């Protein structure tokens, strides 16, 4: 269907030129573009091989204002959404299009359809027609018709974001300039990335440079002296520039990857976390074992029976590749080959970011670009350990945490900025909102908040019907503040409705992100950090977790139910809701109800077109006592269909035990029976 649609567009474009682009590998339609009948002035372009900063359409006409004239048809055919994101960055080289046809050959089901989200001002007032069609084998086509033409890069970005939620993810805070082969790998999905010449200067937007920092890439040839004194530039090698021979010294031992800059991690092109992430993770352990190894001239992921994925030469694993290996129980890393050292590191980091369970022997010195946390994790488990479903998921979570924090695009650009002394915006402040009627649980709850790490946070504590001057409460609040954490206390009358008290607490919060918290549940030390990671890669308006672990206090029993996670779903635990403050404002806050405010908030988000995402549930343990819960179900609900159960309080290893309650002379141990 994709090739047929392009053929028809070529026949109906009249006398105007056509520019056909492809990016990615492995798709039928990509190969079939070569067989289409084109005119002498038409252009067939491999976007992925095009260096940023070089002219993509040297024969194109120019209007009187110096901009490129619109052509009758621009077609962009991408093998995957990951490739479409790369095309966004490269499309700055393309002419404006009267007819824009965008096709993605395969989109995994959890990503949604290829429907555009229009820009916010008047850019698309000239839109005359829009068509969206599903193609064979999970592909999609989107066609837009603009009589006066439209810029391709922002249109591609709008098409991508239409199916991925309204949020575009936290940015790096930097405008980027790019030059050279594979430079687009450093800034995928960014329509504002500015192509620049090898020596500069950076173009001006009125009197302001279009970029804060320029990243230049080289494949072995020396780059000229950078001449722009206003904007700094950093040089990096392409993934193919390094060779195995260059990493072996006279004694025959591998040396560490040599790069410009103090940290070998920053030599590696970042991961596009919007698509290379754990979304679609499969919890089953019955699948075969795979190997990341070499087959002929290519790195591949294969089982004993078949090659599942051919890894691109740049090491860039795509969302389609991840979907194709989700059934594997584990992937063994073979360090003896690959296209080159940087490509090998990038492939392993991408698989880890995708949550693929990886095991490895000793990691060679030339793979220092992985970073120490990821290197340590690869050798921390054995293949046989991955037979256990819980151990497998715990390992996957640790891998994805390390890879996304080390190799995500935002992390990489903030590190590059630090290298040249450019200040960056602080990380978002998360306001933890806790409303409680039980003064005896304040110290316990504050201890759960206080041990959060890898995130900036404050606490807004709403005391519903009692005073902060109670000795146990005052001691807990003082102990929390003494640890250096900001805390705001709000005393609400006991007859105030719960939903209204929550809104009053949110009104006192300073953060741009709001996290809901319960007073009697256990939270692992990276609970908030995991939610913030999911917020970044999911594009969702709300993130939360599945309710996996429950401690049944009356029975002194811990049960684990292995619910599906890492996919868009409205069924998330209310006490783990994390959302942007603006989302709460959009739906009018929490409803003024005595209970069910979480489910009603989630319903309002869905009715308003928002996206809700469920991440893993191993950083949270629900306490179920006999009474006093706003969610009223019997104990049988938790005992049905459980995966495992243990006597006593038995958290998984990601919980890292129990924090001692604040404001007490000794740690609280009332619910620690059976802990091991």
User: What pTM was estimated for this model as a whole?
Assistant: 0.92
In the chain, the N- to C-terminal Cα span, in Å, equals 58
Looking at residue 313, the DSSP 8-state letter turns out to be T
pLDDT reported for residue 562: 84
| Residue position matching structure tokens 């596009």 | 272
Pairing state between β 620-624 and 549-552: parallel
Q: What angle do CA 580, 494, 474 make, to 5 degrees?
A: 75
Cα 446 vs. chain centroid, distance in angstroms?
29
pLDDT by residue (tens digit) across 180-189? 999 999 999 9
- What's the length of the chain? 676
Domains, the chain: 2-168 (3.40.50), 271-407 (no CATH), 429-655 (3.90.550.10)
Task: Give the C-alpha separation, 600 to 189, whole Å.
Answer: 34
What does the block give as tokens for 286?
A: 């019955």
pLDDT by residue (tens digit) across 449-483? 999 999 999 999 999 999 999 999 999 999 999 99
Residue 387 neighbours by CB distance under 10 Å: 13
Positions of E strands within 321-367: 330-333, 358-360
Q: Indicate the pLDDT class of residue 487, thresholds 50, 70 and 90.
A: very high
What does the block give as tokens for 154?
A: 């922002």
Helix or strand or coil: residue 73?
Answer: strand
pLDDT reported for residue 137: 80
Helix or strand or coil: residue 259?
Answer: coil
Contact 144, 138 (CB under 8 A): no
pLDDT by residue (tens digit) across 312-328? 999 999 999 999 999 99
pLDDT: which is higher, 433 or 163: 433
Closest C-alpha among 440, 579, 452, 443 to residue 509: 579
What does the block give as tokens for 567?
A: 């996919």
Give whole-number Cα distances, 316 to 48, 294, 346, 610, in Å. Answer: 12, 15, 7, 30
Helix runs in 172-253, H state only: none
Q: Which residues contact 65 (CB under 8 A, 6 or more apart)?
A: none
| Residue position matching structure tokens 């069609």 | 133
Give whole-number Cα distances, 194 to 82, 208, 209, 472, in Å. Answer: 20, 13, 10, 57
Mean pLDDT of 254-268: 62
- Helix, strand, coil shares, percent, the chain, to 5: 30, 25, 45
pLDDT by residue (tens digit) across 615-667? 999 999 999 885 544 445 566 666 766 678 999 999 999 999 999 999 874 33
pLDDT: which is higher, 65 or 563: 563
Contact 268, 348 (CB under 8 A): no
DSSP string, 390-414: HHHHHHHHHHHHHHHHHHBHHHHHH
Least confident of 87-91, 149-153, 157-161: 157-161
Helix or strand or coil: residue 221?
Answer: coil
Helix or strand or coil: residue 187?
Answer: coil
- Upper half-sphere CA count for residue 329 (Cβ side, 13 Å): 15
DSSP string, 431-494: EEEEEES-GGGHHHHHHHHHT--SSEEEEEEEEESS-TTSHHHHHHHHHHHHTT--EEEEEE-T
Contact 249, 243 (CB under 8 A): no
Task: Give the C-alpha separation, 143 to 75, whole Å.
Answer: 9
pLDDT by residue (tens digit) across 588-608? 999 999 999 999 999 999 999
Rg (CA), the chain: 27
Per-residue pLDDT at 1 exceeds 90: no
Residue 564 neighbours by CB distance under 10 Å: 12
Cα 192 vs. chain centroid, distance in angstroms?
19
pLDDT by residue (tens digit) across 2-55? 999 999 999 999 899 999 999 998 777 788 888 898 999 999 999 988 899 876
What does the block give as tokens for 408?
A: 């995500």
Task: Give the C-alpha separation, 146 to 572, whole Å.
Answer: 41
Contact 232, 420 (CB under 8 A): yes
Omega before residue 149 within 30° of 0, cis:
no
Q: Which residues contact 122 (CB under 8 A, 6 or more apart)?
A: none
Which residues, in sequence order, are bridge partners of residue 347?
Answer: none
pLDDT by residue (tens digit) across 231-246? 999 999 998 876 554 4
Positions of E strands within 79-218: 97-104, 129-134, 140-150, 176-179, 194-195, 204-205, 208-209, 213-218
Closest C-alpha among 211, 206, 209 to residue 194: 211
Mean pLDDT of 59-79: 75
Closest C-alpha among 87, 122, 82, 119 to residue 102: 87
Q: Which residues contact 532 (CB under 8 A, 6 or more apart)?
A: 428, 430, 455, 513, 578
pLDDT reported for residue 671: 38
Q: Which residues contact 667 (CB under 8 A, 6 or more apart)?
A: 658, 660, 661
Residue 235's Cβ-count burial label (10 Å; 0-12, 13-18, 19+) is middle
Is residue 234 within a helix (H) or strand (E), and if so which, with residue range? strand 233-237
Task: Give the C-alpha separation, 38 to 7, whole Å.
Answer: 10
What does the block give as tokens for 179?
A: 């030059």
Contact 620, 643 (CB under 8 A): no
Contact 332, 383 (CB under 8 A): yes
Closest C-alpha among 288, 277, 284 to residue 350: 277
Q: Indicate the pLDDT class of residue 166, thresholds 50, 70 and 90.
A: low
């Amino acid at each position: 269907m994709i090739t047929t649609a392009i053929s028809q567009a070529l026949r109906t474009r009249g006398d105007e030129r056509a520019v056909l682009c492809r990016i990615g590998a492995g798709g039928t339609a990509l190969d079939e573009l070569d067989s289409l009948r084109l005119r002498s002035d038409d252009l067939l372009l491999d976007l992925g091989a095009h260096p940023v900063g070089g002219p993509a359409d040297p024969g194109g006409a120019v209007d009187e204002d110096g901009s490129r004239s619109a052509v009758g048809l621009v077609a962009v055919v991408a093998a995957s959404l990951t490739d479409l994101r790369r095309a966004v960055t490269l499309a700055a080289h393309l002419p404006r299009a009267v007819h824009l046809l965008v096709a993605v050959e395969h989109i995994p089901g959890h990503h949604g359809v290829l429907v555009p989200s229009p820009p916010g001002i008047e850019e698309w007032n000239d839109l005359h027609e829009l068509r969206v069609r599903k193609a064979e084998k999970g592909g999609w086509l989107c066609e837009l018709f603009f009589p006066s033409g439209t810029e391709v890069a922002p249109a591609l970005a709008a098409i991508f974001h239409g199916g991925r939620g309204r949020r575009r993810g936290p940015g790096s805070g930097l405008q980027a300039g790019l030059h050279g082969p594979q430079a687009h790998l450093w800034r995928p999905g960014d329509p504002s990335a500015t192509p620049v010449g090898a020596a500069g200067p950076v173009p001006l937007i009125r009197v302001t440079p279009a970029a804060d920092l320029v990243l230049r890439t080289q494949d072995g040839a020396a780059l000229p002296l950078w001449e722009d004194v206003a904007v700094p530039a950093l040089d990096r090698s392409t993934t193919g520039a390094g060779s195995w021979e260059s990493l072996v010294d006279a004694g025959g031992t591998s040396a560490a990857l040599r790069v410009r800059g103090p940290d070998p991690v920053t030599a590696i092109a970042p991961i596009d976390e919007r698509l290379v992430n754990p979304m679609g993770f499969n919890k089953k352990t019955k699948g075969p074992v795979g190997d990341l190894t070499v087959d002929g001239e290519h790195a591949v992921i294969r089982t004993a029976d078949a090659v599942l994925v051919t890894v691109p030469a740049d090491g860039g694993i795509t969302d389609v590749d991840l979907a194709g290996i989700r059934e594997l129980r584990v992937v063994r890393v073979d360090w003896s080959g690959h296209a080159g050292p940087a490509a090998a590191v990038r492939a392993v980091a991408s698989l880890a970011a995708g949550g693929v369970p990886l095991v490895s022997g000793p990691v060679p010195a030339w793979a220092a670009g992985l970073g120490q946390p990821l290197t340590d994790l690869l050798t921390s488990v054995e293949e046989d350990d991955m037979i256990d479903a819980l151990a497998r998921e715990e390992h996957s979570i640790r891998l994805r945490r390390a890879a996304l924090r080390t190799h995500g695009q935002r992390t990489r650009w903030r590190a590059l900025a630090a290298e040249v002394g450019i200040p960056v915006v602080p990380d978002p402040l998360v306001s933890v909102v806790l409303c409680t009627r039980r003064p005896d649980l304040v110290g316990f709850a504050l201890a759960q908040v206080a041990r959060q790490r890898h995130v900036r946070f404050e606490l807004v504590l709403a005391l519903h019907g009692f005073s902060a001057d109670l000795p146990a409460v005052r001691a807990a609040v003082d102990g929390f503040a003494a640890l250096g954490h900001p805390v705001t206390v709000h005393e609400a009358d006991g007859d105030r409705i719960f939903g209204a008290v929550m809104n009053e607490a949110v009104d006192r919060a300073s953060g741009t992100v709001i996290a809901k918290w319960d007073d009697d549940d256990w939270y692992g030390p990276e609970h908030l950090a995991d939610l913030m990671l999911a917020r970044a890669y999911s594009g969702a308006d709300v993130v939360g977790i599945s309710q996996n672990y429950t401690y049944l206090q009356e029975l002194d029993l811990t049960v684990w139910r292995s619910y599906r996670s890492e996919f868009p779903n409205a069924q998330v635990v209310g006490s783990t809701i994390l959302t942007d403050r603006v989302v709460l404002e959009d739906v009018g806050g929490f409803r003024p109800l005595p209970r069910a405010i979480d489910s009603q908030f989630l319903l309002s988000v869905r009715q308003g077109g928002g996206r809700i995402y469920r991440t893993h549930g191993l950083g949270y343990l629900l306490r179920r006592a006999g009474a006093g819960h706003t969610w009223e179900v019997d104990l049988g609900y938790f005992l049905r269909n459980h995966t495992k159960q243990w006597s006593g309080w038995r958290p998984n290893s990601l919980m890292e035990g129990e924090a001692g309650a604040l404001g007490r002379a000794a740690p609280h141990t009332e619910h620690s029976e059976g802990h091991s």
